[in-house]
Structure 1
Amino acid sequence: MKKSILMLLFSALLLFLIPMHTHAASNQTKIILDGQELSLPDDVEVVNVRNNIMIPIRVVAENLKFNVKWDQETQNVNIQQGSNALQLTVGKEQAKVQNNTVKLNIAPQMIKNTVVVPIRFVSEEMGLRVGWSNKDKIVTLTSSTSLPSTPANGSDEITNLVHDINYANNQLVVSLDHEVTPIITTLKNPERIILDFPSTNFGNMGQVPSGGAIGKLDTSDFPNVTEVRYSLFKNDPAQVRIVIELNNVNSVNYTPQTIAGKFILDLSMVNDPAPPTPVNSGKKIVVIDPGHGGSDPGTISFTKKPEKHFALALGLKVQALLEKEPDIELIMTRETDIYPTRSERVKLANDLKADVFVSIHGNSVTSAPQVSGTETFYYQRESSKELANIIHKKLIKALGFKDRGVKNGNYQVIRETTMSAVLLEIGFLSNKLEEEAMMSETNQNKAAQAIVDGIKEYLKL
């Protein structure tokens, strides 16, 4: 009797001490290739790193049948299948594809003495389509021309997956497995744009709404957008719905397009009834455009300040001077930290039939902080070239920065405007000394006066 009790206690102790793997294995990520589940060894772990599914190179070699070579000294992974060749390096977010350098979402990593690589990148570069079911933890690979499908409850199929939703610069960007055209509708009171993606579910996203819940994007930087929300609107078949709710907008136009697996909805919103019309038709109309603004910081200076603040500070100084000119009607594209799109800036100037358009910017080459100087851009028109030469000459004289010349530049705000238009790169914010000079009130006042003097000379005022 004592022996039986001792054996029972010993067995219970063993059960307590030995790690249980059965539950972990049942929840392990599965990989399905052309409808067949890959048999993964027990010691192989498929891991999720920052919402990127990573697989050991052993899986790539043994199960996907790619030729894999590992160089311990250089930490390089070379993967080849036929004429397709990849080279990845542990810790580096750049890879070589057929000797071309491409950027990775995440670098290969060494985890528990095993090199893991991003399955989506490796598989797609080798000609496989990749799908991901966050709910069922299933990676679906297909080498055929058919769309990837993920089994759910035995019969349901997901033909497309959303991997990221982003809103910035008046653009909604949805990253998808493959091209899909959403059904777009609009509703009033409040103004809404609704996008329904058929046969689509959520894939490998950071925040996936579950069970009818609604996910939302942070739109606090966009005053014309109340919110962007998304949800799984239907289950059978799956359908993702995205709603853009607008705020204080009189009208909105949108242009859909698909580029490299991303669906992009470009919005153009009008929240003013019409552009202002000068009362005195005899005045010259000047549009001053402080670059960037709001959600678009522009470049970042040597001391980590956004270009948009410099552009606005200088633009407001130009405004103060031009408002004293009796023969000039001044219009600003922005007077606060907001982001009018480039198309909106162009439309404003063209609708006004302006005489002069001046866009203010700061330059940057972060990889070469020694680069400095002022350069001025125009687009093709002789009138714009003349305006550029006059303002540029006065800026060089006022600031004493290196003269980098007047150049023909293909920038939208000077290309699509119909009047004399220039884009000013006052100096290099990436240069420590030049940034310091550009940020000083004294030099900003000098630059503002030079711009105003140049505009007046060109207009013969």
Structure 2
Amino acid sequence: MKKAILLLFLSLFFLIILPDQSHASANQSKIILDGQEVILPSDVQVTVMNKHVMIPIRVVAENLKFRVNWDQKSHLVKIQQNSKIISLHVDQREAKVAGKPVLLDIAPQILNKSVVVPIRFVSEQMGLSVSWDNKDKIVHLTSSTNNSAQTEDSTPNSENNEKVSLKHINEINFLNNQLVVSMDGKVTPIISHLKDPNRIVFDLPNTTFGDLSQPLDSGSMGKLDVSGQPHVSEVRYSLFSRDPDQVRIVIELKHANTIQVNHEFIGDQLVIDLNDTGDFESPIQEPLAGERGRKIVMIDPGHGGSDPGTTSISNKHEKDFNLALSLKVQELLLKEPEIEVWMTRDSDVYPTRTERVQLANKINADVFVSIHGNSVLESPQANGTETYYYQRSSSKELADAIHKRLIKAIGLKDRGVKDNSFQVIRETKMPAVLLEVGFLSNISDEKAMLSNTVQYKAAQAIVDGIKEYLSIR
């Protein structure tokens, strides 16, 4: 009798002190969506409640590119799939699908600040085939058609093989409404705008983290310090999926502003501009009425201020080279009686690219020239001068005129005149070019580019090219 009582006591003791096995196993659970593992934030889990597998609805919906709206006050979740709207309340078993009531097996719950719903609901109402591997604690989800991120991620680029080889991210920064991602190759970001909270999602296919300077947690996730940023509350990044690898970067916005997103590669950096089109006010001084008999030339020293640009082989900043050469171009243009010269900056400050474009368009410049230095630190043998224009034949004519003189004047390798979609030459309305004078990452190019004598030769070549295009003798 005493033995039976003792056994009963021990059984009750272990039932009380041992954790719920369903929740304990949830920590090791995984979600496999269309064959790819979904990387979950550290505070988001798959769990089991009353024998029902519960899945975080926001994670799945965002992976499938559905729109998710969360009303904190009413605890209402709305999920939109094309014209179909699914509404459900936390702690209520009745949901609505396209306005019709649907009874759930178990009410949605809030777990670690995330809304979780029964997997059967996900299966029946969101068009997924679902299976649960109880042994390995894995949820397998298969959509009728793969989401857009997976489709683009798995489709090779027919024009080049850049998406075939795995790219590595080495640094991520956010400055002056610009996300700058340093990496060892080019990819095409897949950009999504999501609401509640308002955020912009950038998926980088066939990409993983290299020797990243920022720390990652155990879940291959990290955050940037964006304190003081007027429009952004958080920038987070993660290894979003594996096999194939895909990095996701999420920018969470403070306000429901209208944000225009532009992206381009400059050297080894993917630069993404976030332009708030709702309340833009340029800090650049308003132009005075120019002397209409003269041609207006705008010179744009790239980068500046908090944006140093790339780094030279001897650890000098591109922004300083850009400004030094641009000031020499300004000095020579001021001697031309038929030219009125404007600068986007004449000191170490940072006007955004949108502000540079808007100023050039506002003053109706006749010519726009953006001056830069190139760099590929991983390939120090890369060298030479290249000039970029965007589509317009007038821009191509200006590019040809400057490039041929620049090559002759400074003698660096001729890398040609190329068409590319850089923002400052794409959105300006006048003939516009972007000059990559040489490679600061190449020891020979850098020596020439930082020479005061060579800079004056380059400046004169730029001025002569501008004058040729404008038919000024």
Q: TM-score range by the shorter chain?
A: 0.5 to 0.7
Task: Give the CA deviation at 1:283.
Answer: 0.8
In the aligned structure 2, how far is the partner of 1:286 from the partner of 1:381? 18
Aligned to 2:442: 431
Aligned to 2:64: none
In the aligned structure 2, how far is the partner of 1:205 from the partner of 1:83? 22
Aligned to 2:310: 299
Superposed CA deviations along residues 278-312 of structure 1, whole A, max 9, x for unmatched, are 43110100010111223332222111222222111
Task: Give the CA deviation at 1:326.
Answer: 1.9
In the aligned structure 1, how far is the partner of 2:343 from the partner of 2:317? 20
Aligned to 2:426: 415
Pair 1:229–1:390, CA change in 2 (3 A) = closer
Aligned to 1:393: 404
Work out whether residues 376 and 422 of structure 1, in 8 Å CA contact, stay in contact via their aligned partners in 2.
yes
Aligned to 1:289: 300
In the aligned structure 2, how far is the partner of 1:227 from the partner of 1:271? 16
Pair 1:438–1:382, CA change in 2 (3 A) = same
Task: Give the CA deviation at 1:454.
Answer: 1.4
Aligned to 1:321: 332
Candidates 351, 363, 380, aligned match of 1:340: 351
Aligned to 1:88: none
Task: Give the CA deviation at 1:400.
Answer: 0.9
Aligned to 1:181: 195
The answer to whether structure 1 residue 159 and structure 2 residue 114 are counterparts is: yes
Task: Give the CA deviation at 1:314.
Answer: 0.8
Pair 1:320–1:183, CA change in 2 (3 A) = same
Candidates 262, 266, 286, aligned match of 2:275: 266
Aligned to 1:309: 320
Q: Specify every segment of 5 or more residues in structure 2 that has no aligned partner in the other structure, as ranges.
A: 1-16, 48-52, 61-89, 91-108, 117-171, 181-191, 199-218, 235-251, 264-271
Superposed CA deviations along residues 361-415 of structure 1, whole A, max 9, x for unmatched, are 1112323211211111122222212211111111111101111222222222112
Aligned to 1:38: 24
Paired residue type of 1:406? V
Provide the secondary structure at the position in 1 that maps to 2:444.
helix
Provide the secondary structure at the position in 1 that maps to 2:441.
coil
In the aligned structure 2, how far is the partner of 1:312 from the partner of 1:453? 19
Paired residue type of 2:40? V
- What are the within-5 Å matches in structure 2 for residues 32-71 of structure 1? 36-39=22-25
Task: Give the CA deviation at 1:179.
Answer: 7.4
In the aligned structure 1, how far is the partner of 2:384 from the partner of 2:262? 39
Paired residue type of 2:24? L
Paired residue type of 1:435? E
Superposed CA deviations along residues 212-253 of structure 1, whole A, max 9, x for unmatched, are xxx98454xxxxx679778xxxxxxxxxx9758xxxxxxxx7
Aligned to 1:195: none
Aligned to 2:177: 170
Paired residue type of 1:181? K
Q: Specify every segment of 5 or more residues in structure 1 that has no aligned partner in the other structure, as ranges.
A: 1-24, 41-45, 47-58, 67-80, 85-124, 185-202, 208-214, 220-224, 231-240, 245-252
In the aligned structure 1, how far is the partner of 2:414 from the partner of 2:260? 42
Percent identity reads 49
Paired residue type of 1:279? G
Pair 1:183–1:321, CA change in 2 (3 A) = same
In the aligned structure 2, how far is the partner of 1:386 from the partner of 1:258? 25
Aligned to 1:146: 57
Q: CA RMSD in A?
A: 4.6
TM-score normalized by the length of structure 1: 0.53
Pair 1:242–1:454, CA change in 2 (3 A) = closer
In the aligned structure 1, how far is the partner of 2:431 from the partner of 2:262? 34
Candidates 350, 368, 375, aligned match of 1:357: 368
Pair 1:313–1:254, CA change in 2 (3 A) = farther
Aligned to 1:196: none
TM-score normalized by the length of structure 2: 0.52
Provide the secondary structure at the position in 1 that maps to 2:325.
helix
| Count of residues in correspondence between the two structures | 294
In the aligned structure 2, how far is the partner of 1:372 from the partner of 1:206? 35
Aligned to 1:406: 417
Task: Give the CA deviation at 1:156.
Answer: 5.2
In the aligned structure 2, how far is the partner of 1:242 from the partner of 1:401? 44
Pair 1:140–1:169, CA change in 2 (3 A) = farther
Provide the secondary structure at the position in 2 that maps to 1:298.
coil
Aligned to 2:86: none
Between 1:373-382 and 1:354-363, the stretch displaced more is 373-382
Candidates 132, 137, 142, aligned match of 2:42: 132
Work out whether residues 56 and 114 of structure 2, in 8 Å CA contact, stay in contact via their aligned partners in 1.
no
Work out whether residues 140 and 148 of structure 1, in 8 Å CA contact, stay in contact via their aligned partners in 2.
no
Candidates 443, 447, 450, aligned match of 2:458: 447
Superposed CA deviations along residues 16-62 of structure 1, whole A, max 9, x for unmatched, are xxxxxxxxx99x9x9x9xxx31349xxxxx9xxxxxxxxxxxx5xxx
Pair 1:316–1:254, CA change in 2 (3 A) = farther
Task: Give the CA deviation at 1:273.
Answer: 7.9
Work out whether residues 342 and 413 of structure 1, in 8 Å CA contact, stay in contact via their aligned partners in 2.
yes
Paired residue type of 1:38? A
Superposed CA deviations along residues 425-444 of structure 1, whole A, max 9, x for unmatched, are 11111111111110111111
In the aligned structure 2, how far is the partner of 1:148 from the partner of 1:169? 29
In the aligned structure 1, how far is the partner of 2:276 from the partner of 2:450? 33
Work out whether residues 374 and 403 of structure 1, in 8 Å CA contact, stay in contact via their aligned partners in 2.
yes
Pair 1:406–1:180, CA change in 2 (3 A) = closer
